[in-house]
Amino acid sequence: MTTDKRNHLVLMGVAGSGKTTIAEELVERLGWVSAEADEFHSQANIDKMASGTPLTDEDRWPWLASIRSWLDEQTAAGRKAVVTCSALKRVYRDVLRGEGDDVCFVHLGGSKDLIAGRMAQRKGHFMPTSLLDSQFDTLEPLGEDEPGISVDISGTPDQITGDIIARLQLTA
């Protein structure tokens, strides 16, 4: 798959899958703009997750719509973008995809043990490791008809980023 029409990448996956790290690598190599989905959460959502309570779909709809709005702003400005977002359910990805054909999803996937180990080493993040099971339970892999690829996260960030760029034939 090429991303000639797809100006935006949504790096998706459960918490701790490396979305932020890979987004930073992609931005450095491609010169695209980026945003963290966490930046779009309301304080109420952050407080809820920090207390160990998973978000409901009702909590997520305004959050997802604001991310899509940001992507629309990037399109209008002629910029390509990378955004990190768990996007665990297809209905969430449908909101992020919007009406256009400008989003490509990159599912960063790995084993629960690998990801739990990474999460345990993170400092200062509001998402507790205790919510990882609920994230895996909620995750709906990309459908064959969804624009995107799945990437194994067992390699180094450099290897993962190189794989994404090569498979999607991305250029700066």
State the chain's mean pLDDT as an integer: 88
Across 42-56, 86-100, 126-140, 146-160, least confident range: 126-140
| pLDDT band at residue 91 under the 50/70/90 scheme | very high
Q: What is the CB neighbour count within 10 angstroms for residue 5?
A: 11
Alpha helix ranges (H) inside 12-131: 19-30, 43-50, 57-76, 90-97, 112-121
* Residue 4 predicted with pLDDT over 90: no
Residue 66 DSSP SS3: helix
For residue 5, the model assigns a pLDDT of: 60
Tell me the whole-structure pTM to 2 decimals: 0.87
Cα distance between residue 127 and residue 135, in whole Å: 11
Which has the closest alpha carbon to 97: 157, 143, 28?
143
